[in-house]
Structure 1
Amino acid sequence: MLPDILLIADEPELCKQVTDILDEYDVDWCFEYEALNICIHQPVRVVLVVQDLPGASGIELFDSLRASRPGLLGFLIVDRESAGSLCPAAMDSGFAGLFSPPLDPDHVRDKIAKAMESAALREENARLRALLPLYGLGEHFMSSTSQHDVLESLLNVIGDQTAADSLSVMLYDNEEGVLRIAASRGIPEEMIDQIKIKPGDKIAGRVFQERKPVILNQETQNDSRFADLLKRPEIVSAVSFPMIVRDKILGVLNVSYIDGDIRFADSDIEILGIFSTQAALAIENVHAFESVAQEARLQALLEQYVAPEVAEVLLASDAALTTGLGEIKEATVLFADIRNFTGMVQEIPLAVLRDFLNEFFQLFTETIFEYRGTVDKFMGDAVLAIFGALIELDNPSLTAIETALAIRERFADLKEEWQAKDPFFTTIDLGFAVTRGEMFLGNVGSARRLDYTVIGTEVNIAQRLASKATSSRIYITDKVLEDLEQKQSAHKVLVKYVGKMVLKGVQYSVPTFSVLGLEKEID
């Protein structure tokens, strides 16, 4: 098991005493010459360092550890006679406190518990700081219409987060069979066009070929499998990360520092991985949109957004794809979002949250496609779908409600599955809203981008109304109810009048009804 706490000492009796006192934690101990490698490659949160070490003082050793792990917390173990004189120097080095043998178990446990709590809080804050720009980056990618825009957004966010001396994205050129720099920061212009790397050559080429990220910190890089490729000794730390989407590798992201004491850790790999994956997805989408003239590619692309039947309708009509004017049409909109998503961001680890959202959006997409609806867009923790717009439906309002009921049932199963992984998932829920009316439907961008979307008051009402729905309630408006009553159906929707809702940004109160179910489900 990987250690939370590392004791650096050469006295077996002291090591046994410390591990006995801190038996509730994962504690490991090592000699001074092993400490740096362990702290760099393992998730150590707190170190306990004996002052009198054979090769160096505990304070000197801790200084070198903090150079590689700036946030590392530590306690100095020193005899009582020396504690007073060493205390100022220890505090200057960043130690959180001093322990003196014989160790007081209660005192040690109390101090370590507070240090571990502080370390956990720092890690959570780091996750949140990384998550917030992630959503902003997603918005930039959604609006990007070229590869250049995607890469500039990516490097801007990583540059802001890391303040790295050098950044570059190298993309694979299929024609030449080499990696070339497509965007960069901190690299001289005259060098950019000269750099061409074949897969397997140099560090970037090896990362591209092996599809595995690599961390190179100055103190440990000579032990790396890339040691024979290191040509720039001035680099103190670097990361190279493969950009992979749908099992296809597009290129390599490189981040490095020349000055300072910043070192990369395994946690940085996770964050850069999310950034790289989003960028790779955006780049692939841009490439796909630029190939819109090819019918086979176009159909595959459209089916990422709409059901296969809808894609066939679009492909059968060139006007639907090429015109930017769109049309005003009556349609039904379904909006659904997660309740307590803010709490999820604060409480759930980033990797877990990412996996959950992937399953959440997969559930929504498959269900909407099953009912022949169109996924218009994902909005953070929400989904917007349209019914009766791209293809005719006999009863689009009923179909939207049936879709919401199916999603609610399937989401309950998904929620139960994730509760077994983390009890926080018991606190989340969904809110639904179905509205109907005239709205603009069309391609607001260009034929190359194909950003088919829906705009109108009813769309805004759906979003606001869904935010009022708790406990997986499905709210519908009077216009939806009127549409249901005008169309004959074997299934009657049972509803309860909720009242007139006052919604932000809507100038009038909206008569609202809550769906109880379908008649056959109630009988």
Structure 2
Amino acid sequence: MDSSRLQDIRDWLVDGARSAATPSEMMAECCARLVDLGIPLWRVGVFVRTLHPDIAGRSFIWRQGAEVEMGTVAFGFESSPVYRDSPLARVFEQGAEFRADPRAPESERFPILMDLRAEGVTDYLTLPLTFIDRAVHASSWTTKSPAGFTDAHLNAIRSLMPALARYTEIITLRRTASMLLDTYVGNSAGERILGGQIRRGHTDAMDAAIWLSDLRGFTPLSDRLPAEDVVEILNHYFDCQVEPIREQGGEVLKFMGDGLLAVFPFRRRGGDPTEVCARVLAAARASRARVDALEYASGGAGERFRFGVALHVGRLLYGNIGGGNRLDFTCIGPAVNLAARLEKIAAKLNRTVVASEAFAGACPESMTDLWTDLGEFPIAGLSTEQRVFGLRDEGN
């Protein structure tokens, strides 16, 4: 075993594997370099627990002659028989190495080893990847060499663990930071914050379609139901909107009690809003259908959700606003204020979807017959009344 070449691989990992742009490329290059060094690898896996609202963990699997496969594991997997009956469970829970010969009779109690035996694997090794906070993640290493791994192979693989753990930890922390920002402030805001836009008053102008929705009757509902039930109802209600909004290119900026604020940015400043408004309207109609299909139990009977959404287009300021060291990445401006006023008008008129004249006028000509003119209404803070439109299929 060439110790200097092995040290080169360790140094490469500690230096961030700069020749590999992604974790998958790092896996492919690292394994290729180890094979060139004389270690007869067949399958290598890295398994990392994550801080994510939907995903409990991620996996990266390299196989000789194949592309690196990336996978995710949902919450609840750790209580499943597949996980409980796997060597990885021992590594995660005990932080200790595990080695087995898939051909040996005692390996039959592990389903994964039986699968590897069918592939012709002769040696299986799992090693912990321990992060600085002592959290334990895992790696697995297999070979088809008739004699399995030699002591030199095993020592070389073990010697890589500190460097591989450091690389994996850095990548995991960056992914976690990005994911948490996406979860709590939205994708575009998360990118801006990670890019250094973190000072108070740092804002950009944006041309966008604005979505502001509200759940009708939320206050009396929250008064008569247990808090846990209210939270569950809100989550189901927001599910009806978030998916259609994101599918149509929108970004949810914030939840305000039972309210939701989202924006659909134009591709470029001063760009044509026609295509954007068509997508916004598609999201609004999809959300309306989903909310209409929901029911919640109240007093032994089923009750339906009712909500309203106001749509507008305009220029807004998008950035950091707050006091002291507590900031919020949000949008402000007259266009946002008008959307908020329109939502109140929607409730007054018992309408689900209402739009400003600017939004309705920006929709494609093929959609003009979808709207009905509801008249002009006074808007607080504005000197002139504003014309409001509603979807024709909601009646007069």
TM-score by length of 2: 0.47
Compare the two structures and name the one with the higher strand fraction: 2
Higher normalized contact order (CA 8 Å, seq sep 6+, divided by chain length): 2
TM-score by length of 1: 0.37
